[in-house]
């Protein structure tokens, strides 16, 4: 499970947002995260899942500053080095 802070998911109680950094225990088999309903700080709680469980998450992906969408960064040109005999 690859949760990140800011991810949102839905369960039987409503929509939740991951607010604390997720961490694993038991050799990566159990995932813990602090969650809350968006805009309701009083609903904060810690939630635990088995790492094998699947969640459908919504992640807001924002383009990095200074980059135009769809363009790859240019790599520097390689220069040849001379071998000395």
Which pLDDT score is estimated for 56? 86
**Residue 31 burial by CB count (10 A; 0-12/13-18/19+): exposed, middle or buried?**
buried
Q: How far apart are CA 32 and CA 22, in angstroms?
A: 6
Which pLDDT score is estimated for 83? 73
Which pLDDT score is estimated for 34? 93
Joined tokens for residue 45: 């709680």
pLDDT single digits (tens) 6-37: 999 998 889 999 999 999 999 989 999 999 99
What is the SS3 assignment for 28-82? Answer: CCEEEEEEEECCEEEEEEEEEEECCCCCCEECCCCCCCCCCCCCCCCCCCCCCCC
């Amino acid at each position: 499970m690859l949760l990140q802070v800011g991810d949102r998911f839905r369960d039987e109680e409503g929509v939740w947002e991951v607010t604390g950094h997720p961490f694993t225990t038991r050799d990566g088999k159990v995932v813990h995260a602090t969650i809350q309903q968006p805009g309701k700080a009083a609903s904060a709680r810690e939630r635990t899942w088995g790492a094998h469980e699947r969640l459908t998450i919504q992640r807001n992906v924002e383009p990095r500053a200074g980059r135009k969408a769809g363009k790859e960064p240019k790599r520097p040109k390689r220069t040849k080095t001379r071998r000395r005999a």
